[in-house]
Structure 1
Amino acid sequence: MKVLAISSSPRRDGNSSALAEAAVKGAVEAGHEVESVHLADYVTGMLDDCRRCRGADGACGIGDGYERLLMDHVVPADALIIATPLYWYGMNGRLKSFFDRLFCYTSGSSPVGEEVSAALQGKRVAALIACEESYRGATLGVEAQFQELTRYLHQELVGVVVGIGNSRGEVASDPSRPLERAADLGRRLFEIRVTDYRLDTPRSNRVWGSPETAAPADETY
């Protein structure tokens, strides 16, 4: 399977990047085709007024590498590993711009709207967050944001790993072993069972039983 790891921190050797590298290692060990990108190489502009900056054909007019990242790397991927440092109790601004600007490529006025909207759905997503605070509530906002973003896009959020650290590489000293947990998440990207039941969802009364007794994958939504 194709896996894309996106590091959003401007610090290429920072703690969130270390988490991403660990997850990539795990995904490679599992035999997946893995590519890593730094968001700063592609995204420099924020979402603007589409009525003003769209081209005559409806294409986004912001002149950076966002479209290349989206069409050449994100769209073909089966899974995304997304790493961010915690900035003011949320994802960092560049990553927020990445999600904001999906609007330009999924709206009905975009020439690639249908293609991109269809391709975004069904992906598995792993979220990695580096934070200097051990207070559990510090990352709950961004974790909830990842949950709602993936739900809106019909993706599966397979796991969230939070690593505590501030100085470069300090996340390796976190006694909760986030690098190991990130590697395990990368290894099991396509194996982790994700469920989001509704009242009328057909399901077995077994969660971890055999394939015959557990709910089929297509019944988890």
Structure 2
Amino acid sequence: MRGLVLKASPRRDGNSALLADAAAAGVREAGHEVTVLHLDDFVEGMLRDCRTCRHDDGACGIPDGYERLLTEHLVPADALVLATPLYWYGMSARLKSTVDRLFCFMSEDHPGSAAVLAGLPGKRVAVLIACEESYRGATLGLQGQFQELTRYLRQDLVGVVVGIGNSRGDVRHDPGDPLRAAADLGRRLFDLRITDYRFDTPRDNAVWSAG
């Protein structure tokens, strides 16, 4: 299986990057392929008005590496690990732009939309958040946003790890040991059982022993 870890912080040696590296190590330990990328290397522009900046063939007109990130790495991956610092109680700007710009490539006007629309659903998604505040509510809005994003894209949000820290490397001292938790999430990325019951969902009373 192929995992893709996206580092969404402009600080390459920051706390969310440490969480990302721990998760990637866990994925490798479980015997899966994993690629680790920095969004800064691909995403430079924000989503614009597609009616004014598309090329004549419908392709995106923003001249950066986003299309390569999407088509060569994100779409082919079986699972995504998204690592972001908490910025104003939300995701980093690079990660938000990455999500926003899916709009252009999912539009039927884009020449490559069929492959993107076929490749986005079914992925497993894990989220890693570096946050200065230990107050639990600080990250709940962002966690809810990821839940809705994955629901919309028909993906499974398999886990969230929050590491508390501010200065570089501070997350290592979090007594909750988020680095261990991120590594464990990476190891179990393709094995975690996800349930989303409705009142009429057929299910066994034994959650973990059911097939």
Distance 1:27 1:64 in 2: 29
Structure 1 position 95 matched with structure 2 position 95: yes
TM-score (norm 2): 0.98
Q: Give 1:199 shift.
A: 2.3
- DSSP-derived class of the 1:207 partner: coil
- 1:68-79 equivalence runs, <5 A: 68-79=68-79
Distance 1:25 1:105 in 2: 31
- DSSP-derived class of the 1:23 partner: helix
Distance 1:199 1:48 in 2: 41
Give the partner amino acid of 2:137.
Answer: G
Q: Give 1:53 shift.
A: 0.5
Give the partner amino acid of 1:5.
Answer: V
Q: Give 1:117 shift.
A: 1.1
Deviations 1:123-171 (A, max 9, x none): 0001000000000000001100110000000000000000000000110
Worse-superposed segment, 192-201 or 155-164: 192-201
Give the partner amino acid of 1:138.
Answer: A
- 1:175-214 equivalence runs, <5 A: 175-209=175-209, 214=210
Distance 1:169 1:117 in 2: 38
- 1:164-179 equivalence runs, <5 A: 164-179=164-179
Distance 1:68 1:141 in 2: 30
TM-score (norm 1): 0.94
Q: Give 1:115 shift.
A: 1.1
- 1:143-182 equivalence runs, <5 A: 143-182=143-182
Distance 1:103 1:72 in 2: 18
Distance 1:63 1:200 in 2: 48
Deviations 1:63-114 (A, max 9, x none): 0000000000001100001000000000011100000000011111111112
How many residue pairs get aligned? The number is 211
Give the partner amino acid of 2:190.
Answer: F
Give the partner amino acid of 1:53.
Answer: C
Worse-superposed segment, 200-209 or 88-97: 200-209
Structure 1 position 121 matched with structure 2 position 121: yes
Higher relative contact order (CA 8 A, sep 6+): 2
Distance 2:206 2:59 in 1: 48
Structure 1 position 57 matched with structure 2 position 57: yes
Q: Give 1:203 shift.
A: 1.6
Distance 1:152 1:118 in 2: 14
Give the partner amino acid of 1:65.
Answer: G
- DSSP-derived class of the 2:172 partner: helix
Distance 1:28 1:143 in 2: 25
Distance 1:203 1:53 in 2: 49
Give the partner amino acid of 2:128.
Answer: L
Q: Give 1:200 shift.
A: 2.5
